[in-house]
Amino acid sequence: MSGHSKWSTIKHKKAITDARRGKLFTKLIRELTSAARAGGGDVDANPRLRTAVSTARGSNMPNDTIERAIKKGTGELPGEVYDEVTYEGYGAGGVAVLVDVLTDKKNRTVAEVRHLFSKYGGNLGENGCVAYMFDRRGFITVDVAQIDEDELMELVLDAGGEDLRTEGEVYEIYTEPETFEAVKGAIEARELAIGVAEITMLPQNTVPVEGKKAEQVLKLLEALDDHDDVTKAYANFDISEEQMAELAQG
């Protein structure tokens, strides 16, 4: 199966159950602050901030914490200024990897990210080496037990969604970034529980990996996900359902 959707689901479950919630909140606060700094503090006029607020609330972040992060971005409160950088490279088996970071020390961060690539059988590349292999899309999952596929498809298309696929026990919904909030809102209006809801970089094609290389790819993504400065990591790997489950549990 496509590694992208499975990895997104694994990350979502980690965020809910992981004892390191403080680290998750730190990353969410950085995104809230940066989104507000880039596009203003009005969620209705700033789609990036609207998504960041929705994600923060979905992670049970207190409203006063969200408000403080936004005010730091708009300059109403003092706060750090973070540079937004995307690094590109290859993981084991030639898997393309994109890494979005928010950092106040770019030289330190790039050295640490390069080390992680090398540690797990990959290498950091030049800007543009893999970005063209990905498309920016909205991505939402809904448990199949909640609604009939045809009914959900009609709902998604009417709200401006692009595609719906069934993967095991979940529906995967894809949208253009501009229609993501409208589709998400339509699903929520039907009182359907959403698993994952994010703006992501969707790979145009996938690279099959197995065995040791598959393990290295997942370890790289997990290490990147654990890095304080990394906000998102994307990859175009394809790993069997069985091995993905085995490695995720390990």
Is residue 247 in some structural domain? no
**What's the rounded Cα separation, in Å, for the pair 59 and 64?**
14
Do residues 88 and 47 share a domain? no
Domain that holds residue 21: 3-74
Do residues 211 and 190 share a domain? no
Res. 41: pLDDT tops 50: yes
Do residues 69 and 154 share a domain? no
Q: How many domains does the chain fold into?
A: 3
Task: State the CATH number of the domain containing residue 46.
Answer: 1.10.10.200
Res. 39: pLDDT tops 60: yes
Cβ–Cβ under 8 Å, residues 88 and 99: yes
Residue 169 pLDDT? 87
Tens digits of residue pLDDT in 135-155: 999 999 999 999 999 999 999
Do residues 69 and 157 share a domain? no
Residue 16 pLDDT? 47
| Mean pLDDT value across residues 7-17 | 57
Tokens of 60: 């049970």
Do residues 45 and 150 share a domain? no
Where residue 21 falls among pLDDT bands split at 50, 70, 90? Answer: low
Residue 172 pLDDT? 92
Residue 1 pLDDT? 42
Do residues 125 and 209 share a domain? yes
Tens digits of residue pLDDT in 48-66: 999 899 888 888 899 999 9
Do residues 148 and 34 share a domain? no
Do residues 54 and 65 share a domain? yes
Task: State the CATH number of the domain containing residue 107.
Answer: 3.30.70.980
Do residues 142 and 199 share a domain? yes
Lowest-confidence pick of 173-177, 189-193, 241-245:
241-245
Cβ–Cβ under 8 Å, residues 200 and 8: yes
Give SS3 for 19.
coil
Tens digits of residue pLDDT in 67-122: 999 999 999 999 888 899 999 999 999 999 999 999 999 999 999 999 999 999 99
User: pLDDT over 90 for what percent of the chain?
Assistant: 69
Is residue 219 in some structural domain? yes
